[in-house]
């Protein structure tokens, strides 16, 4: 998702170039189980109307479609046209290209609004949440996921190789621009505070751990969809990018055995819009 629509995205910030590989690897290994649990705790009503903000390739939207059933409707919104094309091919029925704030819906339309690993991308997460609450009917629920804190030996080896090709300061500056609140929301209390600040009540927070097992090749392919890798590919020459890929693959093959196994820590938060 574009953060607010208040600035132009740079090419490396967009998910357009990685939509297919994102759907084939990141979704099943990183996104699908948190999306399943988010839809479950959000309790989207059968026959209801739900909005999936930052739908990407539609993993959460498809789960929400099953929850609302044939009488309900799920709308998936994203700023990446390539991600939306993949979502359409997978069967997400209602898709909209858009940004937040600026949701193209009237006040009080949806029974549920969900955002799977999206909140940290907004330049002003408070304005984004206000807009999401605006389109929610009184008594409706907002649900989000956010990555918890945690590093692995695999991410450290990957980062060590990155450091030999591009300054860590450059990467961190880019990260603060494109995903400014990822570290902030790794602390669950900040999610609670954000929900409280926009007037949500009956806030429920859960922490989950998800075990991931992948091949070295798939792990490295997943990393290439991430922000820092997209920036590297945009910044480095084609030859330097290929050297990086070769070196990081050699480092992993020398150090790790198949499969790679690690744990993702995820926060889930749900809040209710009060009745006037």
Q: At what angle do helices 168-178 and 153-163 cross, to 10 degrees?
A: 120
| DSSP per-residue codes, 26-87 | IIIIIIHHHHHHHHHHHTPPTT-EEEEET-TTTHHHHHHHHHH-TT-EEEEEES-HHHHHHH
Residue 64 lies in a domain: yes
Taking the C-alpha atoms of residue 50 and residue 73, their distance in angstroms, rounded to an integer, is 6
Q: What is the pLDDT of residues 171-183, one digit of tens each?
A: 888 878 888 999 9
Q: What is the pLDDT of residues 191-234, one digit of tens each?
A: 999 999 999 999 999 999 999 999 999 999 999 999 889 989 98
Contacts of 2 (CB under 8 A, 6+ apart): 9, 79, 99, 100, 121
Q: Tell me, what's the pLDDT at 5? A: 38
Two tokens, residue 255: 């150090």
State the SS3 of 161-217: HHHCCCCHHHHHHHHHHHCCCCCHHHCHHHHHHHHHHCCCEEEEEEEEEEEEEECHH
Taking the C-alpha atoms of residue 248 and residue 240, their distance in angstroms, rounded to an integer, is 12
Residue 5 lies in a domain: no
pTM for the structure as a whole: 0.93
Residue 85 lies in a domain: yes
- CATH number for position 85: 3.40.50.150
Q: What is the pLDDT of residues 151-161, one digit of tens each?
A: 899 999 999 99
Residue 228 lies in a domain: no
Contacts of 186 (CB under 8 A, 6+ apart): 146, 147, 148, 149, 267
Taking the C-alpha atoms of residue 203 and residue 120, their distance in angstroms, rounded to an integer, is 19
Residue 24 lies in a domain: yes
Q: What is the pLDDT of residues 16-41, one digit of tens each?
A: 999 999 999 999 999 999 999 999 99
Residue 169 lies in a domain: no
Q: What is the pLDDT of residues 94-152, one digit of tens each?
A: 999 999 999 999 999 999 999 999 999 999 999 999 999 999 999 999 999 999 988 89
CB atoms within 10 A of CB 122: 25
Mean of pLDDT values over 80-105: 95
Q: How confident is the model at residue 10 (pLDDT cuts 50, 70, 90)?
A: low
Domain span including residue 51: 11-150+181-213+263-272
Q: Tell me, what's the pLDDT at 176? A: 82
Task: Assign 264 to helix, strand or coil.
Answer: strand
Two tokens, residue 186: 């790794």
**Residue 167, pLDDT above cutoff 80:** yes
Residue 36 lies in a domain: yes
Instruction: For 69, list phi and psi in degrees, rounded to 5.
Output: 75, -175
**Residue 7, pLDDT above cutoff 50:** no
**Residue 3, pLDDT above cutoff 70:** no
Q: Which of 3-17, 126-140, 188-202, 247-261 has the lowest mean pLDDT?
A: 3-17
Burial 39-54 (b: 16+ CB within 10 A, else e): beebebbeebbbbbbb
What is the Rg, in whole angstroms, of the alpha carbon atoms belonging to the chain?
19
Residue 170 lies in a domain: no
Q: Tell me, what's the pLDDT at 11? A: 74
Q: What is the total count of domains within the chain?
A: 1
């Amino acid at each position: 998702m574009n953060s607010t629509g208040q600035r132009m995205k740079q090419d490396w910030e967009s998910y357009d170039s990685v939509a297919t590989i994102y759907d084939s690897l990141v979704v099943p290994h990183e996104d699908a189980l948190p999306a399943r649990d988010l839809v479950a705790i959000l309790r989207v009503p059968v026959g209801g109307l739900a909005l999936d903000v930052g739908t990407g390739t539609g993993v959460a939207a498809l789960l929400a479609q099953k929850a609302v059933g044939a009488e309900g409707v799920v709308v998936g919104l994203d700023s990446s046209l390539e991600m939306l094309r993949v979502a359409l091919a997978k069967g997400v029925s209602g898709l909209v290209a858009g940004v937040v704030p600026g949701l193209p819906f009237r006040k009080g339309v949806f029974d549920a609004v969900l955002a799977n690993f999206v909140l940290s991308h907004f330049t002003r997460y408070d304005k984004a949440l206000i807009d999401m609450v605006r389109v929610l009917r009184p008594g409706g629920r907002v649900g989000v996921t956010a990555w918890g804190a945690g590093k692995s030996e695999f991410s450290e080896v990957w980062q060590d190789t990155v450091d030999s090709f591009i300054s860590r300061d450059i990467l961190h500056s880019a990260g603060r621009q494109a995903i400014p609140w990822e570290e902030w929301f790794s602390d669950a209390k900040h999610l609670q505070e954000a929900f409280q600040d926009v007037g949500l009540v009956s806030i429920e927070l859960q922490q989950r751990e998800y075990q991931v097992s992948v091949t070295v090749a798939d792990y490295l392919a997943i990393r290439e969809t991430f922000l820092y890798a997209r920036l590297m590919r945009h910044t480095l020459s084609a030859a330097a990018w290929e050297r990086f890929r070769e070196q990081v693959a050699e480092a992993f093959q020398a150090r790790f055995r198949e499969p790679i196994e690690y744990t993702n820590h995820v926060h889930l938060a749900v809040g209710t819009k009060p009745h006037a």
